[in-house]
Amino acid sequence: MIFPETFGAQISPQTGTLEPALAHDLLQDRKALLFRGFGLTADTFCEFSESLGEGFMDYQGGAFERKAINQNPTLLSVTGEGQSFAVPFHGEMYYRRHKPQLLWFYCAVAPSKGGETTLCDGAEFFKRLSRRTRDLFLKRRIAYIRRYTPQQWHVIYQTSDEAEVRAVCERNGLECRLSPSGELETRYETSAVVHDASGQPMFINNVLPILMQERVWLLDSNLVRFTGNESISDDIFQELLEVSAALEVAIPWQTGDVVLVDNRRLMHGRREIEDLKRKVLVRMSNLKQLEQTSNASRELSCGPTATVMS
Ligand SMILES: [Fe+2]
């Protein structure tokens, strides 16, 4: 069994279908779905994701450079493609106002070993923290601070136009400062704790990958601080790593797998990649309303189509 009792479900042709209304209901209940054995290609993956998702996002202003696949700006390579580093738990794009509700992962080439995508439940993560740490993150807001050379922000923001970068930052609630020599600094203040519809607190944010970059990779271009510029202590960093290890659910990829993740309730990451042939693609979207989903289900066609991955 890949998933624990608390979240996640595996769907195969023996146990279910790709019918969008079914996936919609299951996702509400289980927060993550693994579709295995349906023989999806990159094209049919896109069709399937569009039957349940809407408002597909590109990655302008994202944390890393990602490549668009098949000239589709909403079909992306995963972070650090061709690199092996592990990615600790995070919510996708929690360093800005507009975040995708859903993440869609598609495994085009399974690795022979390693490189599992990892998941954990944000509410459970919050509950496992010490009372002191819970209180601290409930009380104190955090700030994500990023500094870019001109060359870096031209790549990350996919433009060299200062007015455009200012507009993207403004839409996403980021303060943005451009120096006379063209360096960009952005700042986004938020809480590390979000709440679900019932008011339950969930620890979902980008704190861990950024602390990892600062404390382990010794980079200073991407920082997270409590507001007032106070550092997050090493003790808290250790505690977050311990809770991560205790809650980690790892999905070993098979070629053709699709994993759908509710980015509002789960965090995700990945284990170190040991086989660089691993090719996992990602899409980010919002969830269609159920009524639209029902219409889409009548139109859905997920039969095999000839697709050559670039
Ligand atoms: Fe991510």
In a domain, 252, yes or no: yes
Domain that holds residue 88: 13-124+245-294
In a domain, 93, yes or no: yes
Tell how far the Cα of 60 is from the centroid of ligand 1, in angstroms.
Answer: 14
Lowest model confidence (mean pLDDT) among 20-24, 70-74, 95-99, 135-139: 70-74
In a domain, 67, yes or no: yes
Asked if 3 contacts 121 with a C-beta cutoff of 8 angstroms, the reply is no
DSSP state of 73: E
Is the model's pLDDT at 85 over the cut of 50?
Answer: yes
Tell how far the Cα of 206 is from the centroid of ligand 1, in angstroms.
Answer: 9
Tell how far the Cα of 118 is from the centroid of ligand 1, in angstroms.
Answer: 10
In a domain, 58, yes or no: yes
Specify the CATH number for the domain of residue 19.
Answer: 3.60.130.10
103 — pLDDT class (breaks 50, 70, 90): very high
Tell how far the Cα of 89 is from the centroid of ligand 1, in angstroms.
Answer: 8
In a domain, 197, yes or no: no
Asked if 56 contacts 283 with a C-beta cutoff of 8 angstroms, the reply is yes
Residue 257: strand, helix, or coil: coil
Asked if 172 contacts 235 with a C-beta cutoff of 8 angstroms, the reply is no
In a domain, 4, yes or no: no
pLDDT digits (tens, 9 = 90+) for 230-246: 999 999 999 999 999 99
* Number of independent structural domains in the chain: 1
305 — pLDDT class (breaks 50, 70, 90): very low
In a domain, 267, yes or no: yes
| Distance (Å) of CA 272 to CA 64, 140, 158, 265, 301 | 17, 32, 28, 24, 35
| Distance (Å) of CA 79 to CA 60, 73, 209 | 13, 15, 12
Tell how far the Cα of 160 is from the centroid of ligand 1, in angstroms.
Answer: 25
Asked if 51 contacts 20 with a C-beta cutoff of 8 angstroms, the reply is yes
The pLDDT assigned to 307 comes to 26
In a domain, 222, yes or no: no
CA 206/CA 304 separation, integer angstroms = 37
Asked if 65 contacts 58 with a C-beta cutoff of 8 angstroms, the reply is no
Tell how far the Cα of 181 is from the centroid of ligand 1, in angstroms.
Answer: 31
pLDDT digits (tens, 9 = 90+) for 34-55: 999 999 999 999 999 999 999 9
Tell how far the Cα of 209 is from the centroid of ligand 1, in angstroms.
Answer: 10
Sheet of 142-148: strand order equals 175-178, 184-190, 142-148, 222-226
Asked if 16 contacts 22 with a C-beta cutoff of 8 angstroms, the reply is yes
Tell how far the Cα of 91 is from the centroid of ligand 1, in angstroms.
Answer: 7
Identify any residues that bridge with 146 across adjacent strands, giving them in sequence order.
186, 222
Tell how far the Cα of 167 is from the centroid of ligand 1, in angstroms.
Answer: 24
Q: In the predicted model, what is the mean pLDDT of residues 278-292?
A: 86
Tell how far the Cα of 268 is from the centroid of ligand 1, in angstroms.
Answer: 6
CA 124/CA 266 separation, integer angstroms = 9
Tell how far the Cα of 38 is from the centroid of ligand 1, in angstroms.
Answer: 24
